[in-house]
Each structure stands twice: as structure tokens, then as C-alpha cells.
Structure 1
């Protein structure tokens, strides 16, 4: 419950930040820019008639206005994305070791149960989905969006095809174990790779915010130059 509250607070705070940026920066810059459309820089639209409308639609100032308008939903989308990342950080910090062990065991069990043929093993990534693993681990990890988010994060970054190919090669070199038998080396490899992936999730990054704000500032400066 405590982890869930922290994850929810992290998600909500990022969404609020995204909403404030959308309202103040996105909406504010867009409204300020529209107020400059009556200035001398918009002489192309002052001619009136269809020609004036077409000239304005094709003008760089209006294109900048459209881009500035897109920043309103963009800040909200970034806020939601960063909220998911913040919630995932809280879950991994609290239960990363347990998630890593249980998820490695679940994935290894599915790989070990597959036939040792090349075609069958190459289909393993198709069978390992967030839905199937969440249902399998629900009795241990519970049912929550945060756990599903952690599983999805791991599956998106785990090179399962390469790992299965390496494991199959190892099986061929040292003798294949019976289908369904537990392989300690496979579980150790999965546990390490999953742990590394989850470790990346605990590193906060605000790079996307700085990029968005920087490009936004450049657009505002370009719009000011075009409408002065």
C-alpha cells in the first residue's frame, strides 16, 4: 500500500507539472503569439479576400503558430509519460529484487517448457506478453498497473531472441537438458539481465523536459522575429 501511494503520488505530480506547463507555457505562448498577428509582420494577411487568406495560411508565422499550439497537448503527453516513469521508479526501488527473481523464474519456466527445436524456441518472445506474465505472477506480485508497467518495461528492453539463441547454443555444446527441467544458468542470466533493465528504471531523467522547453523557446523566438 505504501509503495502504491508513492507511485500514485509520483504519477500525479508529473501529470500536474505537465498540465501547468501546458496551460502556462504552451497556452500562454500561443495566446501571446496570436496577439501579434495584427502587427506589421503580418502584412500578407491584411490584403483581405481569398488571396489574403491563402497568403496567411502559407506564411511562416502561421506555421509557427500551429507548432506552438501543438505544445499544449505535448506538455500533457510528456507529463503522463514522466508520470509512468516516476511510478515505475517507486515500484522498482521498493520491490525490484522480488520482481526480478519472480519474472526471471516465470520467463525461464516458459523457455524450459518449449521444445528444443530452433523454430519453437524462436517463438518464445511471441508467447511472452505483459498479459500472460501478469496473470502468471499475479498470485505473488498482485494485480496492479505498476507491476504491469514494470513487466512491460522489462520485456521492451530484454533481448529475448538473442538470449534464447545463446542458451540454445549452450545447450548444444554441453548437452541439452530434458524439456521442462530447470536450468540454473538460464535463470541466473535472466535474473541479471532483468535486474540491469530495472536498474535503468530507477535513474530519473528530465532530458525530455529540457528538450521540449528548449525547442519551445526557439519557436517563440522565431515567431517573435517573424511578427515584429
Structure 2
């Protein structure tokens, strides 16, 4: 490798941690390939994780099995100023630094026009963990933070209507957990103070549908909607 090539590689490696495709808590795209191009996926299916963005994309990926792991390392912090209760300061929320988020997808061509598949993926990693509790001055004990994790299991089916149009539908089965700690000082404001802080994980489940369409308008133009 030339010296110029080495510097380019080092520069790209340095920029990589800032290039994660995310929109707050939720990822803009799912699947390693989609995240590698800033989350593009609704109109550009590249693997079976297209189910998570637009299930119509299954007609473009063929028979395949995809397994991936994301290593997510966000930077979280808080600054409080102008507070009369003694909370002012800068706080680092990165006591838990790295989050491993696995993903799995499978698709099978049933007929030339019909494809079935399933995707397993998650949301997580934007949790906070403040070893120095921002709310210690008002009674917060120990470290502070919240953790919200979500798992989706999405069986899907897609139809190729013609050479340029496809429709798809995915059933989203969701499971999520939540926990909070270090919020003792706010117990008096809660209608259920005994359940506010540092308890076991709470969980919930949900069911939903995702509908999708892709259409190739020209050789260089493909649209997607979901």
C-alpha cells in the first residue's frame, strides 16, 4: 500500500465511529450494508434485513441467509447550567461504552413472483450510564441512567407484480425492556414512588404491520415507500 493509501485508510478509520446511521434512538437503516451507506434501504434493498425498512425489497434479494453484528459506541453527556438546586455541571454518560446489536435475516423464493422471509433485529445502544449522578444534589443515589432495548421478529412476504413493481408486508412482533436508576430524588413527584427507581426491568410486547412498495421508474431511478 502506498503512503497516500495508508493515510486514506487511517482517516477513514478515524471517521468510522461518527458514521453510524442513527436517528436518535432508532436506526435509519438496518443491516450492515444499509448502515454502511448512511442507512439507505427503503428503495435500495441489499439483503434480507430489507424487511425492517421495506418488505417489498425481498423480491430483489433472492434466496439468502444474512447474519450480522453491530458494535455501537455512542458518546453521551449532559451539561446543566442555571439550576438553583445545585445540579450545575458537566456529566459523562459513557460508563457503559459498547453495545453489541445482532441481526439475522432469511429469505426463500416460493415462486418466481412470491418470496417469503423473516428478520430478527433490535434497537438499543443509546442508553445512558452516569457514574457521577447529575441528580445527587436532590437525593439521587448511586449512578444514574436509563436503558431501553427492543427486539423485533418480523416474518414477511413480498409479491413481484411485474418487472418494475413489488409489494410487501411484514408482521412486526416486538418485545422491549426498560429500567431506570439514580432517580430517587424525584420520588415525591411520582404517583408510584416505590416503582420509580432501581427496580427490576419492566417489559412490554406489541404487534404491528409494515407495508411496502418499490417501483423502478427508469434504469437509474427506483422509488420506495413504506
Higher strand proportion (structure 1 or 2): 2
Give the TM bin, normalised by the shorter chain. under 0.3
Greater relative contact order: 1 or 2 (C-alpha under 8 angstroms, separation 6 or more)?
A: 1
Name the structure with the higher helix share. 1
Larger radius of gyration: 1
Tell me the TM-score normalised to structure 1 length.
Answer: 0.23
